Structure 1
Amino acid sequence: MPDQDPLVEDSKLTDSQCSSGPSLFAIEYRIVAELFIKLKYTITMIHDTNIDYEKVTTPNLDPRPSAVYSDCNLKNDAEVDEDEDSYKKMTLTQKIVWGIFYGFASLAALYFFMVAVKLIGDGFTLALGCNTKGAFDFADNPVAGLMIGTIATALLHSSGTVTSIVVALVGSGGMTIRQGVYVIMGANIGTCITCIMVAFGQVGDRARFQRAMAAATVHDMYNLWSVFVLFPIEVLFHPLEELSIAMSNASASSGAFDSPVDAIVKPLAQELVVVDKDSIYDVATGDLECIDGQSFVTAGVFEGSSMGDGSIGAIVVIIGFCILVCSLLTLVKMLAKVFMGPTKRLISKLLNYNGYINILVGTLITFVVHSSTVVTSTLTPLAGLGVITLEQVYPLVIGANLGTTGTALLAALVTGKSDSVAIALVHFWFNVFGIMLFYPIPITRKPILNWARSLAFASAAWPMTAVLFLMALFLVAPGTLLGLVYMCTADSSAVEVIGWIIGTIVVAALVALIFWYKKKGGRDVWHGFLEKKNEEREAQAAREAENNHTQSNLLHETV
C-alpha cells in the first residue's frame, strides 16, 4: 500500500475536533490542503509527462483550403519517408560513404543546373542580338519600362544581365535614369521565374511540391508587393531617382570582380557556344551598328555555321532547357539523400537563429557567387524536402535580392560615370526599401507569406495553377500592358481611342472578377474545384500505390 501523503494525514480532523462541529479554521485548513494536493498532483503529472513540443501546433480554425497551412500538417511529410528508415538502418561507415557520394552527386547536378541557366541566358541574348536596343525602346513609359524589365529578365534568366545592359544604356545616354528605374523594378520581378521552374522538380510529391512552391513564390510575392508600393510612389515623387542621383557623385573607380560561378560554368558552356556580349552591349548603347549577316557567335560548336543567330539561339535555349530538367530532377533526388538525419536538423537549427543574420547570409553568398538565381533556386528544393521552413527561406531570399545588386554596382564602378552609378544605386535602394517595408515589422510579412502559401496550396491540389500563374505573370500581363501602352500612346487618334476602350474593359473585367470572387461565391467555387482536383489526385495516387503493391506481391510470389 503506498505511503499516505502527510498533508492528507494532517488534513484529517480528529473525532474530538468533529464532535463540536467543524470550526472555521478547520474548514479553511481542509480547503487549502485539498487545493495544495491537487496542485502538487498536477505538477507531478506535468513533470512525469514527456511532451514533444515540435508536434504541438496551433489549430487551424479557418476551414477554407487556402488558409495558411502548417508544414507539420502535411500528410506526405518528407520526414516520414522510406529514405529516413533506410538511413537509420545503415552503419556509420555506410552513412559516411553514401553521404560523400550523394554530396558529390548533388554538386554535379547543381553544376549542370548552372550550366543550363547560362545556356538559356546566352541563347536568348544571342537571339536578341541586333535587336537588343530596340527591345528597350518602349521604356520611355513607366508601365512599359516595368514590363520590358520583367520580360527581358524572365527570358535571359538573369537580372544581372538586364541591369548591366541598363547601366550601359544610361551611361551612354541611350536611356535616362528615370526610364532605367522602372526597367530595374521589372528585372526584380522577372528573376523569379527560375524558382518556380525549379519547384516543378518535386511535382510528383504533393507535400514536397506544396512546400517548394511556397518557397519559390515567396520570392515573387516579395518583389510584387515591393513594386505595388514603390512603383506608384516613384511615378509621383521619384524618391529612388533623386536619392541615387544625390549619392552618385561619389567617385567610382574600381576593378571588375569576376563571378566564381561564371569561372566554373564557362568552360563547359563555351564548348557549345560563345556569345560576344561586349559587342551586344555596344549595340544596345548605340556604339556599334549591326550589319546584315553579322554574327555574335565567336566560338563553340556553332562557330562559322550558316544558320542565323536567331536559329542558333533557339537551339541553345532548347538544349539548355533539356539540361535544366534533367539536372533539377537529379538535384532533388540527391538532396533528399544528403539532408537526412543529423544534417537536416543541423541546417534547420543554424537557419533558425536570427532572421536578420539570414538576410546577411543571403546577401553575402549572392554577392560572392554573383547570382541570386543560383541561391534562390537551391533554397527551393531544400524547402520542398522540409530541411528549411518558409519563414527561414524568406529572409534568405530578400538577402539574395540585395546581394544581386552588387553586379550592377560593380558594372557602374568600372564605367566611372555618375549616371551609371546612379542607376546601379536605384537597384540597391529598391531592395533596401523593400526589406524595410516587408521585414522588420512581423505583420508586414503576412501578405507575402499568406499569398505564397495560398498559391502553393492551389498548385499542389492542381499543378496547372502554377503554370497559369507563370503565364499570367510573365506573358499575359506584360503582353497586355505593353499592347495597351503602345495603343494609348499611338500617334493615331483612332488607335489611341481603341486602346483606352480596351483598357477600360480590361480594368472593368478585373474589378468584376474580384467582386465575384469576394462577394458572389467565387471563393467557394474555386476552393470546391481545388478540393475536387485534390481528391482526384489522391485517388490516383492510391490506385498507383495499390498497383505497385500488387506487382510487388506477384514478383515476390514468382521468385
Structure 2
Amino acid sequence: MFGFLYLFVCSLDVLSSAFQLAGGKVAGDIFKDNAILSNPVAGLVVGILVTVLVQSSSTSTSIIVSMVSSGLLEVRSAIPIIMGSNIGTSVTNTIVALMQAGDRNEFKRAFAGATVHDCFNWLSVLVLLPLEVASGYLHRITKVAVATLNFHSGQDAPELLKVITEPFTGLIIQLDKSVIIGIATGDESLHNKSLIRIWCEASVQQISASSSRGSFLNCSSHAPSSLDSAGKPGSAVQEKCNHLFVDSSLPDLAVGLILLAGSLIVLCTCLIMLVKLLHSVLKGQVARAIQKVINTDLPSPFSWATGYFAMLVGAGMTFVVQSSSVFTSAITPLIGLEVISLERAYPLTLGSNIGTTTTAILAALASPGDKLASAFQIALCHFFFNISGILLWYPLPCTRLPIQMAKALGERTAKYRWFAVFYLIICFLLLPSLVFGLSMAGWRVLVGVGAPFLSLLACVAFVNIMQSRSPGRLPQWLQSWDFLPYWMHSLQPMDGLITRATLCCADHCSGSQDEHSDISPQIKARAGLHNPSLSFLEELSLPPRPSPQLNSPPMQSATRL
C-alpha cells in the first residue's frame, strides 16, 4: 500500500512536469503582458489558467513573487492572480476523484470531497475580489503587517517531499523552472531554450572523486562555461544531468505529452490498486476504529475546536509535502471509502490552503533586499486571502455552504457520470476563457454580460434554498421549477442525447445496428433502449424483463443488446 502511495505521489510530480513542458512557456507569455494583468478580472482568470497549465499553485505563486520582486508587477495587480491560482490548484484532486467512478456511492463521496475545495475557493473569490477592488483591504492589511515586521532574507522553500520522491522522478525528467520565470519577467532569449534540464550541479562526492583522479573540473564532461540554472555564467560546477530525456531531440511539447500519458496511466493504476487495498484492509472493526478516531470530535469542553485542530493538521501536512494538491489528492480516495467524512475533510482542506502559502512566503524571503518588502507583501496576501475565506465560510455551521454545494455536485455526478467531465471543462477551461475574453473587451461588456448572469444565478440559488428549507413562504408558482421547459431544470434531456449518441456509436462500431432495427418502440421501451432518465451503464445493466413474447426474434435481439 505504501509502495502504491509512493508511486501515486511520484506520478503527481511527473504530471506537473508534463503540464509545464506542454504549457509552461505559454504560461510565461501570459504573465508577461502587464496590460492584461492590470485588469483584476483578467488577472483572476490568468491565475486560474496558468495554475491549470503548470498543475502547481506553488509554481504559479513563485512566478508572481519573482515578478513582484523584480519590479515588473505591482502588489495590487498581483492579488487577483493569487486568488486565481487558489482556484486552479483544486483541479488536480477533482481529476483524481474521476478514478473512482466505477462505484456510484464511492464516486458521489469522492467527487464531493474533491469539489468542496473548488466551492470554497469560488465562493471566497466571488466575495473577496469585489471587496478588494472596491476597498483594497488585502493590500492595506498586508502593507501594515510588512511595516510592523522585522525580517531578514532567507532561503528557498524547503521541499521536504522531494527528498523522498526526487531519487525516482529525477531519473525520469528534470526541469529548469527558471525558464518560465525568465519568460514571465521579459527575457526574450529564453523562448528558444528548452525546459528540460541538461546541466546539473555536481555533488560534493563527484567533485572530490574528480579531484582524486587528477581530472580538472572544466573537462569536456562538464558544462563548458559552468552555466547556472538560468543559462547565465555562474560559479557552481556543472555536470550533465542523468535522466531519461537528457539526450532527447524531441521538442518540449512531445516530451510533455509522453509524460502526460504515462503519468496518467500510473496515476490511475496506483489509485485503483490503493482503493482495492484499502477496501481489503479497512474492513470490520479496523474500519470502524479508524473512522471513529478521525471523525470523532474532541471532548465536550473543546468540541468546538475540533475543526480548527483539523485545520492545523492539514496545514502541517501540506507544509511537509509542500503541495496542497498532493495532500488533497491523497485524502480524496479516503473520502470515497468513507474513512474520512466530508465534514471532517472540509477543515483539512482549509488547513491545506493555509499550508501551501508557506511556499510563497519562504520564496519571498529569498528576494533581493530592495524588493523584499513587496515580495513578502504579496506572499502575505495569499495567506490573508485564505484566512478571510475561512472566516467567511467556516466558523458558523450555517455559513458552511461549500459542504452543501459539494454534496449537491456529488449527487449530480453520481446520477450522471458524464457531468463530472462537463464540470471540469466548464469550470477550469471554458468559463475562465469566456470571462477572460469579456474582460479584454472592456468593463462595459464584462458588466453588461456578467451582471445579469450573476443576478440570475443568485436568484436561482436563493429560490432553491427557500424550496428546501421553507417552501411555504414562496408563491405557488415557485414551489417547483415545473413552469419552466423541461430542459431548463433537468439534466435528463442532455443525458438522453449522450445516451443515444453512445448507443449509436456502439452500434456503428459493432456493425449491429441492423440487428435490432426492426424492434418496435414498445419493446424498446420495455428494454430501456431510449429511456433518457437512465445513463448508458444503467441501461446495459438492466435485467431482462419477463414477457409472454420473450421467445419472439425481436425480443431476443433486445435481450441480447
Q: When the two structures are superposed, what TM-score results if normalisation uses the length of structure 2?
A: 0.71
Matched, 1:327 2:289: no
Counterpart among 212, 225, 248 of residue 305 in structure 1:
248
Farther off after superposition, 279-288 or 346-355: 279-288
| Structure 1 counterpart of 2:521 | none
| Structure 2 counterpart of 1:270 | 170
Tell me the CA shift for residue 404 of structure 1: 0.8
| Structure 2 counterpart of 1:156 | 54
Contact 1:259 1:369 in 2 (8 A): yes
Instruction: Give the 3 Å change call, closer, same or farther, for CA 404–510 of structure 1 in structure 2.
Output: closer
| Structure 1 counterpart of 2:184 | 284
Matched, 1:418 2:381: no
Q: Secondary structure at the match of 2:248?
A: coil
**Distance in 2 between the 1:246 and 1:528 partners?**
50
**Distance in 1 between the 2:134 and 2:349 partners?**
29
Cα offsets for 1:41-82 (capped at 9, x unmatched): xxxxxxxxxxxxxxxxxxxxxxxxxxxxxxxxxxxxxxxxxx
| Structure 2 counterpart of 1:442 | 397
Tell me the CA shift for residue 324 of structure 1: 1.9
Alignment of 1:68-217 (within 5 A): 106-136=1-31, 137=33, 138-217=36-115
Instruction: Give the 3 Å change call, closer, same or farther, for CA 442–330 of structure 1 in structure 2.
Output: same
Alignment of 1:389-404 (within 5 A): 389-404=341-356
Tell me the CA shift for residue 132 of structure 1: 4.2
Alignment of 1:219-368 (within 5 A): 219-249=117-147, 250=149, 251-286=151-186, 289-290=189-190, 292=192, 294=194, 296-298=196-198, 299=241, 300-351=243-294, 352-353=296-297, 354-368=306-320
**Distance in 1 between the 2:13 and 2:246 partners?**
18
Instruction: Give the 3 Å change call, closer, same or farther, for CA 133–539 of structure 1 in structure 2.
Output: closer
**Distance in 2 between the 1:535 and 1:409 partners?**
47
Tell me the CA shift for residue 459 of structure 1: 0.2
**Distance in 2 between the 1:130 and 1:448 partners?**
34
Instruction: Give the 3 Å change call, closer, same or farther, for CA 506–248 of structure 1 in structure 2.
Output: closer
Instruction: Give the 3 Å change call, closer, same or farther, for CA 330–506 of structure 1 in structure 2.
Output: same
| Structure 2 counterpart of 1:372 | 324
**Distance in 2 between the 1:156 and 1:528 partners?**
33
Q: Output the amino acid matched with 1:301.
A: L
Cα offsets for 1:454-512 (capped at 9, x unmatched): 111010000111111111100111111111122327xxxxxxxxx83x87457656767
**Distance in 2 between the 1:472 and 1:153 partners?**
16
Tell me the CA shift for residue 514 of structure 1: 7.8
Contact 2:97 2:110 in 1 (8 A): yes
Tell me the CA shift for residue 344 of structure 1: 2.1
**Distance in 1 between the 2:452 and 2:391 partners?**
33
Contact 1:160 1:404 in 2 (8 A): yes
Cα offsets for 1:78-102 (capped at 9, x unmatched): xxxxxxxxxxxxxxxxxxxxxxxxx
| Structure 1 counterpart of 2:416 | 462
Instruction: Give the 3 Å change call, closer, same or farther, for CA 523–229 of structure 1 in structure 2.
Output: farther
Q: Output the amino acid matched with 1:429.
A: F
Instruction: Give the 3 Å change call, closer, same or farther, for CA 227–408 of structure 1 in structure 2.
Output: same
Instruction: Give the 3 Å change call, closer, same or farther, for CA 505–245 of structure 1 in structure 2.
Output: closer
Instruction: Give the 3 Å change call, closer, same or farther, for CA 534–241 of structure 1 in structure 2.
Output: farther
**Distance in 1 between the 2:364 and 2:178 partners?**
15
Q: Secondary structure at the match of 2:174?
A: strand
Contact 2:179 2:195 in 1 (8 A): no
**Distance in 2 between the 1:269 and 1:223 partners?**
30
**Distance in 2 between the 1:536 and 1:287 partners?**
52
Farther off after superposition, 242-251 or 513-522: 513-522
Instruction: Give the 3 Å change call, closer, same or farther, for CA 242–260 of structure 1 in structure 2.
Output: same
Tell me the CA shift for residue 451 of structure 1: 1.0
Instruction: Point out the structure with the larger helix share.
Output: 1
| Structure 2 counterpart of 1:547 | none
Matched, 1:483 2:437: yes
Q: Secondary structure at the match of 1:387?
A: coil
Tell me the CA shift for residue 350 of structure 1: 2.3
Q: Secondary structure at the match of 1:254?
A: coil
Q: Output the amino acid matched with 1:349.
A: K
Farther off after superposition, 232-241 or 262-271: 262-271
Tell me the CA shift for residue 302 of structure 1: 2.0
Farther off after superposition, 339-348 or 157-166: 339-348
**Distance in 1 between the 2:134 and 2:458 partners?**
27
Cα offsets for 1:301-355 (capped at 9, x unmatched): 2223322223322322222222222222222222222322333223322232221
Matched, 1:431 2:392: no
| Structure 2 counterpart of 1:51 | none
**Distance in 2 between the 1:344 and 1:263 partners?**
32
Instruction: Give the 3 Å change call, closer, same or farther, for CA 178–543 of structure 1 in structure 2.
Output: farther
**Distance in 1 between the 2:356 and 2:193 partners?**
35
| Structure 1 counterpart of 2:475 | none
Instruction: Give the 3 Å change call, closer, same or farther, for CA 271–535 of structure 1 in structure 2.
Output: closer
**Distance in 2 between the 1:229 and 1:219 partners?**
16
| Structure 2 counterpart of 1:385 | 337
Contact 1:127 1:310 in 2 (8 A): yes
The runs of 5 or more residues in structure 1 that have no matched partner are: 1-105, 490-498, 545-559
Matched, 1:473 2:427: yes
Contact 2:119 2:402 in 1 (8 A): yes
| Structure 2 counterpart of 1:492 | none
Q: Which has the larger radius of gyration?
A: 1
Q: Secondary structure at the match of 2:189?
A: coil
| Structure 2 counterpart of 1:85 | none
Tell me the CA shift for residue 543 of structure 1: 4.0
Alignment of 1:29-48 (within 5 A): none
Tell me the CA shift for residue 453 of structure 1: 0.8
Instruction: Give the 3 Å change call, closer, same or farther, for CA 309–334 of structure 1 in structure 2.
Output: same
Instruction: Give the 3 Å change call, closer, same or farther, for CA 504–239 of structure 1 in structure 2.
Output: closer
**Distance in 2 between the 1:207 and 1:295 partners?**
42
Tell me the CA shift for residue 164 of structure 1: 0.9
Instruction: Give the 3 Å change call, closer, same or farther, for CA 472–291 of structure 1 in structure 2.
Output: closer
Q: Output the amino acid matched with 2:110.
A: A
**Distance in 2 between the 1:252 and 1:541 partners?**
65
Contact 2:116 2:402 in 1 (8 A): yes
**Distance in 2 between the 1:151 and 1:125 partners?**
12
